[in-house]
Structure 1
Amino acid sequence: MKTTTPNRWLTLCVLALTQLVVVLDGTIVNIALPQAQQELGLTDGQRQWVVTAYALAFGALLLLGGRVADYWGRKRTYLVGMVGFGIASAWGGVASSGLELIIARGFQGAFAALLAPAALALLTVTFTHGRDRNTAFAVFGTIAGAGAAVGLVLGGVLTEFADWRWCLLVNVVFVIVGLVGGILFVRESKAEGDNRYDLLGAATVTLGFGSLVYGFSLAEHGWGAPDTIGFLALGVGLLTLFVYIETKVAQPLLPLRIVLDRVRGAAFGIQAIAGIVMIGATLYLAFHLQIVLGLPPLEAGLANLPLTIAIMIVAPVATKLLPVIGPRPLMITGPIVVAAGLVYLSRITADGDYFVQVLPGLLIMGVGMACVFVPLQNLALTGVAPHDAGAASAFTNSAMQIGGSIGLSVFTAVYTGVVAGAGTGAPTPEAMTSGYSAVFLGGALVMVLGSVIAAALIRGPKSALMPQGEPALHLG
């Protein structure tokens, strides 16, 4: 494939737009949820599923989506993913019940699992090497990093000046642009050879994680309840069966050699922990800003930005430090710094001031997250054979989404337990604030666990922990 692919910069624009849509949809509804909950009559437990359904379907199906893109055709997969994503977004935007909205969000995540790997694979084969490739991936990566922040701000604008439903309906505009651009400028490509789908593996891992997350969501009614234990046990059983299947099939969805490596396994675990905090804890911060502090949607969206800004400012510094000190020190200290920020946030009060009680915590978290994110992709790809690079990179993203799904379910159980323990009937601002504080402290404990994992498992010479040459970014 020649680097001088015709219309390659227009192709980059189309694919970057796709990446933006997929990433921002993980956060755009966060600010809209209080309005959606009130209009559709969602309980606090159902409310978290509007976010969980998207993240769970996206994370659980991402590996299969990469295989489909490679085997069936990347452009074809991209276009089908776009159409499906648009239909699911429109359905969610006109949903008349909470169940409809949750199901639509699940379909959004499923089609995003086709879009994301197809877009990155197309970028990989369009820009094969040299300065153009570096520029293309820099643009793509920057948009991926800024997408969550864009989603929060755009969600705030649409919710405040239009309606929460436009947080989903706006995707139809992006989809139309992406479809036209994809048809005109994107070239087809696919992997050659004997390609077989691991459908049984895909089914067991998807149902396994789904059962696990649902079991955790039922924990708000009691950890010892039969349905809670039953779904958690079913999830563990299905995931165990998935591991067994992966040892037997010729072309596994997830080659186990990828995750059994000590360093890579630690990286995947820490990525899941980062997802727990970035998806779970930050959602409850959005609730505190709007429901307790009474910030309008736009202000609440802007109030979350310091976290992203701090990450973007510190990331270049961490990038320069990485080859000097290696990934281990960053991976140990980064989670501790994030935990310190969460402990600071746990001190919120119902009548507190954002600039005193929230802003410093977000900035501290941003510094720590930058130290985690910078070495994480390197560690996930260290020592990976070229044939496994796509699966390793895809599983890194899956780990964050699935970690966020599980974390959000557990945090919801913690929150509802604290609020119910207050015994005040309808939740008061003070009771809700106590629930949010418990969530932040839980997030801090999880981040400390991440630091312990890094200290115990990420070992070896600095040179051995840094991949040689250019890391493969293909997700297929």
Structure 2
Amino acid sequence: MGSRARWTVTALCAAQFMLILDVVIINVAVPSIRADLGLRDSRVQLTAAAYTVTFGSLLIVSGRAGDLLGRRRMLLAGLTVFVAASILAGAAQSDWQLFAARGLQGVGAAMVSANALAAITASLAEGPERNWALGLWAGVGSAGAIAGQLVGGAVTQFLGWRWIFFINVPVGLVVVAVLALLVPHGSGKDRPRLDLAGALLLAGGLASAILALSWLAEDGARGWSLAAATAAAAALTAFALVERRQPAPVLRFALLRLPGVRAANLTLLLNAGALGATLFFLTLYLQVVLGYPPLAVGAAFAPITLLILLLSPRAARLTTRFGVRRLLTTGLALLAAGALLLARLPGDGDYWTDVLPGMLLLAFGSGLAYAPTYIAASTGVAARDQGAASGLINSAQEVGAAVGLAVLALVAAGFAGAGGAPAALAGGYRAGLVGAAALFAVAAAIALTVPRVLGRAAPSTEEAVATRG
């Protein structure tokens, strides 16, 4: 791989790290935002939901738009929107201004994320070079989701909550400049029009589904959850009917017949849900049960972030040698073991003996599982469909996180003792972690269906890679 390609991949991965960081960085800053802007408790969740709903619902549409309109155009436009929205969010003087800016951030993030991954997979042929790039992509994406706790705590404590948005500006502008120089223009020939009706139905259906799942775990919002679920079912049914008649559909359902694409999306749906809920329970356990301040909670997650960044590129090389099936199954099995180990958290626990060992298993499992997941999700996909495939796998991650957190939060609430005492809450967290372990185990069983040769390099290529290494 030439230096130009490496710089391009690095810039695209930096953009993805920034986008994923913004999903979770706000969690630690919510108390400061609530005090400064006077947010009512009933509206606090909108600081996160405004971003995740637009981000998750527009990924497939944005990826397909990149296939048809040009990925460079979508990347640069999306980054510009994201940077502008970050400035607006940091400067917000009222809650509605913050919510609107967060929603606009989600629009820009969807445009960037789907097309950044597609730009990597479409420009690199299947094999060691693409596997290396996807290993880096997986590492920065999953590490960004965890590092958000540490970055959010540090920035909020030392600079103030507005800087969790302002720090996006210099990073975003540098990435825009690099990509403007390195990403080539598309051919612009013979591109069919985007199926606007299908795009609107899919985005509306996914947004309604994410809202339904988000409201499911909230007291007093079950009626809203049911209404949103009904709207989602209607929109997605209409989408399926409309797409059957389209010569250039938003989503080619034939993609799901590819064994790698199908297994990758199913396993990531479960993996993202289980891991997101696990990290949520661990954050609450450290803060509520053990009494850690926000910055200390962020520091507690630092070992996971470091291990994932170190392991994911190596997992990509191992996938080239051993195939997706072996790495993905092993990683998911380690994640299940980590969740089970954490499910013994006591009411008077200790970080070093009760939390860290299970977190390290989660780190090893994530480091091994994410790279082969993205490799499988792009294997066998034609260049013209890489944007749709990228949007699909990213949507699986976002929707999976919403599903997992909603369902496992209900499980935890059902098993938590009365009164809200730390020991009682720890019992609920333990039940939620057992549920997460079960989801990881199901994902591992699905991973066993992946063909053994998927992701492996041809013998001659493998020998060449081994010789260079």
| Pairwise same-fold verdict (TM > 0.5) | yes
C-alpha offsets along residues 90-136 of structure 1, whole Å, 9 cap, x if unaligned? Answer: 33334456565444333212111112244455667888999999987
Deviation at 1:361, TM superposition (A): 0.9
The count of corresponding residues between Structure 1 and Structure 2 is: 460
Q: Contact 1:212–1:406 at 8 Å: present in 2 too?
A: no
In structure 2, the residue corresponding to 1:284 is in which secondary structure?
helix
Matching residue within 430, 436, 444 for 1:443: 436
CA distance in 2, matches of 1:214, 1:224: 10
Match of 2:279? Answer: 282
Match of 1:20? Answer: 17
CA distance in 2, matches of 1:173, 1:281: 32
Q: Contact 1:156–1:301 at 8 Å: present in 2 too?
A: yes
In structure 2, the residue corresponding to 1:357 is in which secondary structure?
helix
In structure 2, the residue corresponding to 1:338 is in which secondary structure?
helix
The question of 1:170 aligning with 2:178 is answered: no
Match of 1:463? Answer: 453
Deviation at 1:325, TM superposition (A): 4.8
Q: Contact 1:56–1:405 at 8 Å: present in 2 too?
A: no
Q: Identify the range of structure 1 (135-144 vs 377-386) with the bigger mean alpha-carbon deviation.
A: 135-144
In structure 1, the residue corresponding to 2:194 is in which secondary structure?
coil
Deviation at 1:362, TM superposition (A): 0.7
Q: TM-score, normalised by structure 2?
A: 0.82
In structure 2, the residue corresponding to 1:81 is in which secondary structure?
helix
Query: Kindly tell me: are residues 221 and 186 of structure 1, through their superposed partners in 2, closer, same or farther at Cα, counting changes over 3 Å?
Result: closer
Q: Contact 1:74–1:190 at 8 Å: present in 2 too?
A: no
Matched letter for residue 268 of structure 2: Q
Unaligned runs of 5+ residues in structure 1 are 471-476
Deviation at 1:259, TM superposition (A): 1.2
Match of 1:473? Answer: none
Matched letter for residue 174 of structure 1: V
Unaligned runs of 5+ residues in structure 2 are 462-469
Deviation at 1:228, TM superposition (A): 3.5
Matched letter for residue 434 of structure 2: L
Matching residue within 272, 294, 318 for 2:291: 294
CA distance in 2, matches of 1:218, 1:9: 42
CA distance in 2, matches of 1:140, 1:317: 12
Q: Contact 2:135–2:316 at 8 Å: present in 1 too?
A: no
In structure 1, the residue corresponding to 2:251 is in which secondary structure?
coil
CA distance in 2, matches of 1:323, 1:129: 10
Q: Give the % identical residues.
A: 32
Deviation at 1:10, TM superposition (A): 6.8
CA distance in 2, matches of 1:316, 1:50: 33
Q: Contact 2:86–2:105 at 8 Å: present in 1 too?
A: yes
The question of 1:266 aligning with 2:256 is answered: no
Q: Contact 2:260–2:376 at 8 Å: present in 1 too?
A: yes
Match of 2:467? Answer: none
Q: TM-score, normalised by structure 1?
A: 0.81
C-alpha offsets along residues 205-250 of structure 1, whole Å, 9 cap, x if unaligned? Answer: 2222222222233333679955433332332232232222222211
Deviation at 1:444, TM superposition (A): 1.7
Matching residue within 423, 448, 452 for 2:445: 452
Deviation at 1:186, TM superposition (A): 5.6
Match of 1:251? Answer: 248
CA distance in 1, matches of 2:6, 2:368: 31
C-alpha offsets along residues 310-351 of structure 1, whole Å, 9 cap, x if unaligned? Answer: 334444664455456543344334323212211222332443
Query: Kindly tell me: are residues 238 and 116 of structure 1, through their superposed partners in 2, closer, same or farther at Cα, counting changes over 3 Å?
Result: same
Q: Contact 1:378–1:466 at 8 Å: present in 2 too?
A: no
Matched letter for residue 88 of structure 1: A
Q: Contact 1:66–1:117 at 8 Å: present in 2 too?
A: yes
Matches within 5 A, 1:363-374: 363-374=360-371
Matching residue within 305, 309, 315 for 2:306: 309
Query: Kindly tell me: are residues 146 and 228 of structure 1, through their superposed partners in 2, closer, same or farther at Cα, counting changes over 3 Å?
Result: closer
The question of 1:218 aligning with 2:215 is answered: yes
Deviation at 1:450, TM superposition (A): 1.3
Question: CA RMSD for the aligned pairs?
Answer: 3.8
The question of 1:62 aligning with 2:62 is answered: no
The question of 1:360 aligning with 2:357 is answered: yes
Matching residue within 124, 142, 158 for 1:161: 158
In structure 1, the residue corresponding to 2:291 is in which secondary structure?
coil
CA distance in 1, matches of 2:96, 2:271: 28
